[in-house]
Amino acid sequence: MAISESFVTLPMKAGKNLTQQSVLVVCETVSSLLTPVVEISQGKLRGSRSLFGQNRYYNIPYAVAARFQKPKEPSKWHGIFDAIHSSLQLRCPQWRKFFVFGKEECLYLDVFSPEWATPRSKLPVMVYLHGGAYYMGAKNLYDPEFLVVKNTVVVTVNYRLGVLGFLCLNGISNLGLRDQVAALKWIQKNIAAFGGDTENVTLCGESAGASSAAFHLLSELSRGLFHKMILMSGTALSVWAFNQESTEPAFKDASKISEVNSDEDVFKVFTEAPLETLIKATKDTSVNPRYFKYSPCVDSHNPDPFFRDTPYNIMKSGNFNSVPVMMGFTESEGSYFYGLLDESSVANLNDNFADMIPSLFSWCPNNRQQVATLLRSHYFGCGNITMNSVNNLVRFYSDWVAYAAILAFSKVLTKFSNKPVYNYLFAYEGDREFAKIFIRDLKGPVHAGELFYIFKPFGISMLLSTRDERFIVKFTTMMTNFMRYGNPTPKTSKLLPWPPATKNASNIMVLDQKLSVLKQPYKRHTGEFFLNLLCTYGEAGYVPCDSSQICLKN
């Protein structure tokens, strides 16, 4: 999930260490100082310098692309390009309640660096990919000041979303992922001008952004473009990360615009439709365990594939981009999704549960109903699913969103990679829990909860409690240590040592006021039942194990 714009107008939860019940929101103003002129491959540019000693370069074009075409290098410019102002409109097209927000010319990135950085600084670089179910989100929702003050360079990236970025049809595939490759290539060519080290790039993402990042581990197109990875609540083996039924929703959506009878008809309708018509026809996505309808797909049949095989098969082969990985999930992932439910959506889940199970279970026609019976019995018993099924719904969503696949992905990496894997459980519940406004006072940090201790939403400075400030220092120190050294707690660190996972121990760092390490998987929500079903009845090559491929009998 991406940070939601609705958070910006709402008060934060009053923390125990705050003296007032409301939170002072201080809008950070940009000083009148401009950065020195920087020269990159496209020409010269300048950004703005914040009051907090941060250079900011907004909306730099890293590629250009016509609709449903692969990204190409951007044109050069004459004079000095003003990368001074952020813009909400310069995001990739997406539906926002009642209208289309964004424009098709959207392949921009922002660069943040310390004010003293020079081309000789060679600072570690983070490239952040936003979440949002592959259909919403933007780079400008994340201000990385907490990371930049620790002497790093951070790049936030727009990439095409929804049908424009993830249509898999007629030889078109994974354009959003290809946009990300173009951004990584731009960074290799230009980041040194901002003080970044081209040989120390950490690719980072949250939710769909994390799955996107993890896919670059598996693609030959991304080889050599990054050196470390941070994954928050998403992996290449998450059950929602792929849609094996990619043509079906495309036909349904195209038929809303015009009559279609073939792949070519669908492609023609989507190509010729006005932007608003296209986005409106394809806008609906569902927060259920089945799939996000426009999402990455295996395109090994294409002449220039992003994936040469299914994710698990690539990992099992050992022929992937092995780098150190830091990855984890929040204590109450499913609470966020419970907060998005209403009476109607829960009634639909109750009445049509078999249609809501992950598409990974649908390889055999007989499986869907019987696997659904097993899932429903395990999570909800024999009764109806209602809004009162709070704990069961949270556990169900937690397992399919994160726990099962993330713990399994860690095991797969540990087995097939020769680089360290650092697991975490984000358990800190502080005063920046914006999402708690929407989730009916459920306990524990929710999906995307850690983002508010890494980024300042929308660049807005907010009064920090002493408790939050201490945790942010601790958390971002571990993140930037990992970026710099490939180890969140190197020998010089005074923090509790964070051991990498082994074949016999998960070694999960519990990120809370007081750090601790769990040697074995998180006991409260391990997702083991969900994972066992995937490994028995899931579609081979997509689940984090060797599926038994058992076709259940009626």
DSSP states of 523-542:
SSS--HHHHHHHHHHSPTTT
d(C-alpha 380, C-alpha 415), whole Å: 34
pLDDT at position 210 is: 98
551 assigned to some structural domain: no
* Average pLDDT, integer, range 478-494: 98
All residues at 6 or more sequence positions from 365 whose CB lies less than 8 Å from its CB, including other chains: none
304 assigned to some structural domain: yes
251 assigned to some structural domain: yes
204 assigned to some structural domain: yes
The helix/strand count (H/E) of the chain reads as: 15, 21
All residues at 6 or more sequence positions from 75 whose CB lies less than 8 Å from its CB, including other chains: 42, 64
470 assigned to some structural domain: no
488 assigned to some structural domain: no
209 assigned to some structural domain: yes
Distance, CA of 174 to chain centre: 15
Question: What percent of the chain shows pLDDT beyond 90?
Answer: 71
128 against 363, higher pLDDT: 128
* Average pLDDT, integer, range 225-235: 98
Checking if the pLDDT of 20 tops 80, the result is no
Checking if the pLDDT of 150 tops 60, the result is yes
pLDDT at position 28 is: 41
Checking if the pLDDT of 24 tops 70, the result is no
All residues at 6 or more sequence positions from 537 whose CB lies less than 8 Å from its CB, including other chains: 361, 364, 367, 371, 547, 548, 550, 552
Output the average pLDDT for the chain: 89
Checking if the pLDDT of 352 tops 90, the result is yes
To the nearest 10°, report the CA torsion of 165, 167, 172, 176: 20
d(C-alpha 125, C-alpha 482), whole Å: 11
pLDDT at position 525 is: 61
Find the domain containing 192 and state its range: 5-326+336-421+526-537
Minimum mean pLDDT range among 13-22, 313-322, 359-368 = 13-22
pLDDT at position 51 is: 84
In 3D space, the residue among 331, 516, 452, 447 whose CA is nearest the CA of residue 15 turns out to be 452
Structure confidence at residue 208 as a pLDDT band (50, 70, 90): very high
Checking if the pLDDT of 355 tops 80, the result is yes
499 assigned to some structural domain: no
Q: For the purposes of burial, counting CB atoms within 10 Å of the CB of 423, is it exposed (0-12), middle (13-18) or buried (19 or more)? A: buried
Looking at the structure of the chain, the number of domains it has is: 1
pLDDT at position 520 is: 83
pLDDT at position 190 is: 99
Structure confidence at residue 552 as a pLDDT band (50, 70, 90): low
* Average pLDDT, integer, range 348-366: 86
393 against 363, higher pLDDT: 393
Please give, one letter per residue, the 3-state secondary structure of 25-40: EECCCEEEEECCCEEE
pLDDT at position 206 is: 97
* Average pLDDT, integer, range 170-177: 95
Element (H, E) at 102: none
Structure confidence at residue 334 as a pLDDT band (50, 70, 90): confident
Pull the structure tokens for residue 170: 């007629």
pLDDT at position 73 is: 98
* Average pLDDT, integer, range 231-242: 94
The model's pLDDT over 426-481, given as tens digits with 9 standing for 90+, comes to: 999 988 776 665 665 677 888 989 999 999 876 666 678 999 999 999 999 999 99
d(C-alpha 282, C-alpha 372), whole Å: 27
Pick the catalytic residue: 50, 86, 173, 207? 207
198 against 366, higher pLDDT: 198
Whether 207 is a known active-site residue: answer: yes
pLDDT at position 95 is: 92
Checking if the pLDDT of 233 tops 80, the result is yes
Checking if the pLDDT of 218 tops 60, the result is yes
Checking if the pLDDT of 498 tops 90, the result is yes
Structure confidence at residue 7 as a pLDDT band (50, 70, 90): very low
In this structure, what are the phi and psi dihedrals at residue 118, rounded to the nearest 5 degrees?
-130, 170
CATH number where 354 lies: 3.40.50.1820
